[in-house]
Amino acid sequence: MSGVMRRLRIAVIGAGAGGIATVIRLRERGDPEIIVFEKASEPGGTWRDNTYPGITCDVPSHLYRFSFAPNPDWSSKYSPGPEIQAYMRRVAADFGVEPVIRYNSEVQSAAWRDGAWEITTTQGPQGRFDAVITAVGILHHPALPDIEGLEDFAGTAFHTARWDHSVPLEGKRIGVIGTGSTAIQVVPAIVDRAQKVSLFQRTAQWILPEPNLPIPEEKRAAYRADPSLLAGQYDHLAQAFNGAFCAAVAGEAPEVYERMAQACRDNLATVADPELRARLTPDYRMGCKRLIVSSLFYPAIQRPDAELVTEGIARIEAGGVRTQDGRLHELDLLVLATGFDAHHPFGDMRIAGRSGRELSETWAKGNVTYRGVTVPDLPNWFMLGGPNSPLGNFSFLMTAERQLGYVLQLVDLLATGAAREITPRPEPTAAWTQALKDRLAGSIWASGCRSWYFDPHGNVATYPWSYETFEAEMKAPVLEDYALSA
């Protein structure tokens, strides 16, 4: 990068997909000193933590990858988790990311003092940094259900993100609590090994049928021989998935939305038993909750060794789950497919900005950001996958790369000496926040369901516009919306 006046010291928090991409792209633009703080002992983020049976990405393989690291060898249309984790590790190794990662170093505090961020991890104080780029993700703090008696269960119980592979499944009576994407993947993967699987459903889901077909070796060989084919597939999927699929959910492609809704209804119609079909029928519009992609769940839940339980849970006892009708569902293993706390991405990390006020206090009634990337009172603090980033059925790698491109333009200002501190102004932040609320109030996500998109205060924390709008916002920062201190 020509004209560099400062060699920045940059902290990156998290060695998942966002953190890996950040290191690679930062190096392309100069020679900053980069340190990645990772709480675990290896990279990969959600693909490292989630190893439950049946784990599969619900974004097509050739779209769920870094733009700069095409992979011709994906085995299937939707990649299994271990294959994605192997890809993450390979990219980190191939691009020399590993040497700058400090593993087993969870950030405990970050405080802005005298023009720099002072960071402390579980390994102690780490010094001062000119900027912080967070890539912590939102799916890493398991949410445990608030059900009476959970600690009384005499069998084995664990969250899907902490799957204990030493526990045998064969011949066991297994209960699964939750009906989100994870549970819909787990049930088909374990039902033929268990004596019985009981799925405790609070809310039915819309499920889009999509067979996960293997990618033939001849196709993979063609991709290896001609990289332009891979590039073309990436562009095609980006348009089909982000330009149509996600625009439909955002209310900007009604014809596509209706085709998707009809496909879900047709899929539901494959459930033969009308009583079971009725209990699997959602009472809200498709897209209000994150749309689930599966061709395996309905066949699995119709098996004689599977049971859908829709009666509410009264409590958990030593022998199993007792529902409100008084029935005890006797279990040997209890799987909690209850998702994550998506609205406290920094967990117990203490973050104090220029004013000294902690971010947890500022965000006590809801997370407020400027375009999901920056936060007032936090100079040179940049987020990938921050609050109100695109969620839903987008490719996170694509959205993170777009945000990273935006962030790097701000980092350039620091590197060239054009600014020492960059903070979003309160007025543009308030205006963007209000625009979010206005748009979300009439969106599909606020149409009558409860989902993990809602924070504890009733705010919807997703991105309400199309992917094209998001890309346009991330193309370049509006510098007038920032306070730049030289």
Q: What is the pLDDT of residue 2?
A: 43
How many other CB atoms are found less than 10 A from the CB of residue 166?
A: 6
Residues 182-208 as b/e (b if ≥16 CB within 10 A, e otherwise) read bbbbbbbbbbeebebbbbbbeebbbbb
Token pair of 209 as six digits: 């049928």
Rounded Cα distance, 288 and 267, in Å: 18
pLDDT of residue 1: 41
The packing angle between helices 396-415 and 467-474, to 10°, is: 10
Q: Lay out the sheet containing 124-129: strands in order across.
A: 124-129, 116-121, 107-113, 350-352
Distance of CA 77 to the CA centre of its chain: 20
Walk along the chain (486 residues) and give the pLDDT tens digit of each residue.
Answer: 445 468 999 999 999 999 999 999 999 988 899 999 999 999 999 999 999 999 999 999 999 999 999 999 999 999 999 999 999 999 999 999 999 999 999 999 999 999 999 999 999 999 999 999 999 988 889 999 999 999 999 999 999 999 999 999 999 999 999 999 999 999 999 999 999 999 999 999 999 999 999 999 999 999 999 999 999 999 999 988 877 888 888 888 899 999 999 999 999 999 999 999 999 999 999 999 999 999 999 999 999 999 999 999 999 999 999 999 999 999 999 999 999 999 999 999 999 999 999 999 999 999 999 999 999 999 999 999 999 998 767 899 999 999 999 999 999 999 999 999 999 999 999 999 999 999 999 999 999 898 888 999 888 889 999 889 999 999 999 999 999 998
Q: Which helix (H) or strand (E) holds 307?
A: strand 306-309
DSSP assignment of 345-410 equals TTTT-EEE-TTS-BHHHHTTT----BTTTB-TT-TTEEESS-TTS--TTS-HHHHHHHHHHHHHHH
Strands (E) in 25-106, as ranges, are: 33-37, 101-102
The helix (H) or strand (E) run that includes residue 315 is strand 313-317
Residue 485: both structure tokens together: 């201190």
pLDDT at 244: 81
CA distance 160 to 335: 6
Cα–Cα dist 174/293, whole Å: 23
CA dist 262 and 257 (Å) reads 9
Which tokens is 206 given? 């819309």
Q: What is the pTM of this model?
A: 0.96
| 247-251 CB contacts, 8 Å cutoff, 24+ apart | 247/466, 247/467, 247/468, 248/287, 249/287, 249/291, 249/392, 249/393, 249/444, 250/443, 250/444, 250/464, 250/465, 250/466, 251/443, 251/444
For residue 248, with 0-12 CB atoms within 10 Å meaning exposed, 13-18 middle and 19 or more buried, which class applies? Answer: buried
- Residue 245 is predicted with a pLDDT of 80
What DSSP designation does 104 have? T
Nearest alpha-carbon partner for 454 in 445, 464, 463, 443: 445
The pLDDT assigned to 5 comes to 66
**How many C-beta atoms lie closer than 10 Å to residue 68's C-beta?**
12
- What single letter denotes the amino acid at residue 248? A
| Phi, psi (deg, nearest 5) at residue 255 | -65, -40
Query: What 3-state class would DSSP assign to 221?
Result: helix
